[in-house]
Amino acid sequence: MTRRVVVVNAGVSAASSTKLLAEQLAGAVDAAVSARGEQVQIDYIDVSPLARDLATAITSGVPSAEVRAAHDAVADADGLIVATPVFTASYSGIFKMFFDTLDPDAITGVPVLAAATAGTARHSLVIDHAIRPLLAYLRADVLPTGVFAATDDFGAPELGDRISRAGAELTQRLVSDGVVAGFGGPTDARSAPRRSGRSNDLGPVTDFATLLNGHTGQT
């Protein structure tokens, strides 16, 4: 069975560091899936060329054919990689517009690997403070490892390790969990509740009348 991963790249140029990071993440997923004897199809959506159409879709409510095709690709994906440059300490405007125009149920339960790039490491918390809440609002299954890369990080072994770890996490969701696009992830309402290995049964609960029996209210 071939899994399908869609990469949403919000980089603003053809040779952007955001696109480079997205491609490296996709490569890590491809390698990890192949190592398990499975196949993955990776498709790319570059958001920047859709900027005008996305703005029109927001103001008119009518998406263009190109925007609809991008949305359909996301809705059919078994997993997503989303990457954005950091503008003013958050995700870029076109990144947000893309998800603003997406059907609210399109990525429910879908595993998503979040990534971001910036010129400085001072923006390294953008994934947890901005991107993760956005994806959680859309009920996506956001992977534990997000990958942030400052300009100086490229080529460093530490970034390669994070990319490999994140790629392995997405592969685990794709290959082991048998995710069907849009359903079946741990955030799906039909999923069984998570339970710890330790019992939460505290035994019978004593009512307040019995607990307060004989108490005069004085300390």
Question: Over the stretch 208-219, which tens digit does the pLDDT of each residue have?
Answer: 577 667 666 565
- Average pLDDT in the chain: 87
Q: Which fold has domain 2-176?
A: Rossmann fold (3.40.50)
Looking at residue 23, its pLDDT comes to 98
Crossing angle between the packed helical segments 17-35 and 157-171, to the nearest 10 degrees: 50
187 or 58, which is more confident?
A: 58
Arithmetic mean of pLDDT, 62-88: 97
The partner residues of 80 in beta bridges, in order of sequence, read 6, 112
The token pair at 115 is 């990534």
Q: Using 50, 70 and 90 to split pLDDT, how confident is the model at 196?
A: very low
The one-letter amino acid code at 131 reads: I
Q: How far apart are CA 21 and CA 18, in angstroms?
A: 5
Question: Over the stretch 162-192, which tens digit does the pLDDT of each residue have?
Answer: 999 999 999 999 997 544 433 333 433 333 3
Quote the Cα angle for 11-149-17, to 5°.
Answer: 30
The token pair at 97 is 């517009």
Q: How far apart are CA 111 and CA 25, in angstroms?
A: 14
Listed by start position, the domains of the chain span 2-176
